[in-house]
Structure 1
Amino acid sequence: MAAVDVENRGPVVWIRIDRPDRRNAYDLDMARAMTAAVEDAAEADAVVLTGSGGSFCAGGALDRLDDPDPAELRALFTASLRLVNAIRSCPRPVIAAVDGAAAGGGNELVVACDFAIATRRSTFGQTGPRVGSAGVLGATNLLAVQIGEKRAKEMAMLCRRYTADQALAFGLVNEVVEDGALEEAVARWLGGIHRLSPRYLEIAKISSNQWWHQSADNMNSGLGMLLQAIGSEDMREGARAFLEKRAPEFRGGRSAPAPHEGAEQ
């Protein structure tokens, strides 16, 4: 199986991210493959985006950020923007089928999809400032429309993790099902889609992209700032800490102030 497996199940295109060894974090070739698969699905009834090996997606791969190649990272960040734009501009409904962690850019893929169904064991959240980055492709803009500004800032800036039930309560996902029941639930949603007019579903989807289009300039400027920060010490330290499985020291090793008693971590 390729790192991105594309399967036509009748009128539905299933796109499966298959790098479980790194929690399905995607590289440049994988981002391009997913984008092409979404764009090629214009004649399908629907698209399902999912992961393998007990994870949904951990976003862009971090294994090279401790010693980044600026041209390579520019290409990956730009390809990530093209991927989320492809999901939004696809004329067919795109469903995120989440089983496991949706983190960082993977969480932003959930934001970009039209619908999201998750197993109970799934988790959601951003990783940006924790690993020397920022979620500018959905988490810092459109997410506020979906779950509210204060909660979106909490997710994007503080990098907390949320359960599937919390994500459902926020409005980030449409349904939570028991572990092992994901494909059955997706099939039920697809059954509803199959009974609807593809032409008018497309009109409804493209019309509903108002807030996505309102966020376009913000995403482009955010991407520009990320590109300017390539190679910064915070990026390098965040990547080193992630790879070494330790807490990052963004402030030269100075201890962070102790949290107030009872503050949520």
Structure 2
Amino acid sequence: MSDVIVTERGTALWIQLNRPERRNAYDAAMAGAVTEALEQASSYYSVVITGSGGSFCAGGALIDLSNPDVPSMRGLYQGSLRLFDAVRNCPRPVIAAVNGAAAGGGNELVVACDLAIAARSATFGQTGPRVGSAPVTGATNVMGVQIGEKRAKELSMLCRRYPAERAMELGLVNEVVDDELLEETVEAWCAELAQMSPRYLEITKISSNVWWNAARDSFTNGLGMLVQAIAAPDMAEGAAAFMEKRKPSFPAPE
């Protein structure tokens, strides 16, 4: 079974995350496969990222966080940033077709995409402080530009879940449709983009990256702090609680 399924649909390239048993959470290799597909997508008019098995993406895989290995964790963090940068650096518009839960890094993947269309059953939200991490590659910085600083901090700090309609009200997605209409609607958007000038769409996209580029130092600084916190008690407890489906018991503030 391939972790990432890449298919052509007319003028668009579709990239499907395919680890439904872990809600399409990605490891470094899976993030690398998506990055490679995005880097080879210039001959298409648009790119679509979606999930399989009724989930969009649960972000980085938490399987080993209760007993983390520093090099592998560093690789996962760096793989996440390369993935999100690849979305932004892809010369074609990238659409998130959100077919289920977009959690943690999955929500940040939606932030990174140029456009987002959600199924009505989709949910959105960050997980960082709840699982012993922090959402430093989009949610704590660029998302504030998209939905406002106070709302971005609400998502990043409280780790609540938001239905698709609320996500559209906030500005996280462009449109919400009935689940059975998601692919049809996304294909219609792709067809509309195919009528535009690829050259000037690329110029438009590059110009629109101004806030992403301005936040780039924030990404790398945040990831540096996360690397230094690998194996901290909060990380181990948060990951263990997540895997055991219980509430975490973090150390008290010092």
Task: Give the TM-score normalised by the residue count of structure 1.
Answer: 0.94
Q: Deviations over 1:119-165 (max 9, x none)?
A: 11000000000000010000000000000000000001110110100
Matched, 1:150 2:150: yes
CA RMSD after TM alignment: 1.0
Alpha-carbon shift at residue 8 of structure 1 (Å): 1.6
Map of 1:67 onto structure 2: 67
Map of 2:219 onto structure 1: 219
Map of 1:234 onto structure 2: 234
Alpha-carbon shift at residue 10 of structure 1 (Å): 2.8
Alpha-carbon shift at residue 191 of structure 1 (Å): 1.4
Alpha-carbon shift at residue 88 of structure 1 (Å): 0.3
Structure 1 residues 131-146: aligned runs within 5 Å? 131-146=131-146
SS in 1 for 2:7: strand
Between Structure 1 and Structure 2, how many residues are aligned?
Answer: 253
Q: Deviations over 1:85-135 (max 9, x none)?
A: 000011000000001100000000000000000011000000000000010
SS in 2 for 1:181: helix
Map of 2:119 onto structure 1: 119
2:225 & 2:219 partners in 1: Cα distance? 10
Map of 1:190 onto structure 2: 190
Alpha-carbon shift at residue 79 of structure 1 (Å): 0.7
Mark the runs of 5 or more structure 1 residues left unpaired by the alignment: 255-265
Q: Do the aligned partners of 2:4 and 2:17 also contact (CA within 8 Å) in 1? A: yes
SS in 1 for 2:140: coil
Map of 1:257 onto structure 2: none
Consecutive aligned runs of 4 or more in structure 1 exceeding 4 Å deviation = none
2:119 & 2:162 partners in 1: Cα distance? 13
Map of 1:263 onto structure 2: none
Map of 1:8 onto structure 2: 8
- Bigger Cα Rg: 1
Amino acid at match of 1:21: E
2:28 & 2:222 partners in 1: Cα distance? 19
Structure 1 residues 1-265: aligned runs within 5 Å? 1-251=1-251
Q: Deviations over 1:41-97 (max 9, x none)?
A: 012111000000000000000000000010000011001000000000110000000
1:24 & 1:231 partners in 2: Cα distance? 24
1:78 & 1:11 partners in 2: Cα distance? 31
Mark the runs of 5 or more structure 2 residues left unpaired by the alignment: none
1:31 & 1:245 partners in 2: Cα distance? 25
Q: Deviations over 1:155-193 (max 9, x none)?
A: 011101101000000010000000111101001111110
Q: Deviations over 1:220-256 (max 9, x none)?
A: 100101111111010000011011110000036x9xx
Amino acid at match of 2:204: A
Task: Give the TM-score normalised by the residue count of structure 2.
Answer: 0.98
Of all paired residues, the percent bearing the same amino acid is 63
Alpha-carbon shift at residue 11 of structure 1 (Å): 2.4
Amino acid at match of 1:238: G
